[in-house]
Amino acid sequence: MRRLNHPNTPDIQLDAVLAALSDPVRRLIACRLSHCTDEQACLAFELPVSKSTASHHFRVLREAGVIRQEYEGTSIMNSLRREDLEQRFPGLLQAVFDAQNSAEAEAEAEREEAAAEAG
């Protein structure tokens, strides 16, 4: 059975996690996984990048310790390592997700305002 390497919980480094989550596409992946109760296949994500670039983003998240990836047949299933990250850096993920949600809400409000002014 094929296995992917993941850092052990004590080996997850803050710099690696922050670097992984600094990219908007990787933050989007992590945010989407935060809303899932089960593992998600890579193909389940509609991302604004090519398939090879998406694979790179998933690898960066896995190597940083943000997500866990496991083979299930020919699919790679993804899950957020919420408990591991909470143990290592309490409150970090929630702060990132709160900031992301706030930024998305502000962007949506700006779009609505621009549409109202145009129409």
Residue type, position 88, single letter:
R
What's the CA gap between 77 and 41, in Å, rounded? Answer: 4
Class of domain 9-111 as given by CATH: mainly alpha
Reply yes or no on whether the pLDDT at 69 is more than 90. Answer: yes
Instruction: Kindly state the average pLDDT of the residues 86-112.
Output: 93
How much is the CA Rg of the chain, to the nearest whole Å?
Answer: 16
Q: Taking all residues of the chain, what is their mean pLDDT, rounded to a whole number?
A: 92
Q: Which residue has the higher pLDDT, 64 or 44?
A: 64
Which sequence spans correspond to the domains of the chain? Answer: 9-111
Question: Is there a contact between 93 and 82 (Cβ–Cβ < 8 Å)?
Answer: yes
Question: Is there a contact between 34 and 97 (Cβ–Cβ < 8 Å)?
Answer: yes
